[in-house]
Chains A and B, each alone.
Chain A
């Protein structure tokens, strides 16, 4: 069963911020939110992950709501190379809970 819900597709203008939502209303207290992306015909690329605090790295920012039932991945200045399928995944840490279960993701198309 899918543990996350994402819109199937989104469009964004080049240079603008891309905000990708993810719903994970059944997330458990020990589960992290991970974001990966997959550019066409390539392997997935790790973007960012977080537990409850907002996170930022050189690629993106992750905003997690206080109740942790949803999150938003923000690409601050989208480029054409950011066109990809973005996957939001929830996963616990440690033990045997290391599997990544990919849903259908969101196809983000960055337009010139």
Chain B
């Protein structure tokens, strides 16, 4: 089946530093990937839609200069949290649409970010 990986699975960083999270579709191509954020005991909130070769589309209230998204290939999208602060600590999850299949979205296992 379609597999999406994320790296790293957990990361701890100091306030003010930047962190990059990778999302890869392992066995299918995905021109569209999505980035979600989930705070404890809350649901997933869509942050942005990432399209290969073009600029990401951010949801209302998400700072595009703080959450940099790059989708350079059909199997890789990256999310960089710039100048991270403790309030950015969250569970970040990506998903990818399978173009070759039935356009379903497949989710990665998530990345736990802790900013100290």
A positions within 8 Å CB-CB of B:
36, 38, 41-46, 87, 93, 98-105
Contact = CB atoms under 8 A, between A and B. Distances in A.
Given A41-B91, A98-B32, A98-B97, A46 B105 contact: yes
A35 to B, nearest CB: 12
Interface stretch (B63-71, B78-86, B106-114): B106-114
A36 to B, nearest CB: 8
Given A98-B97, A100-B46, A44 B107 contact: yes
A104 B43 contact: yes
Contact of B109 (A42, A100, A104): A42
Contacts, number: 45
Interface of B: 4, 6, 32, 34, 36, 43-46, 49, 91, 93, 95, 97, 103-110, 112
A43 B108 contact: yes
Contacts of B4: 43
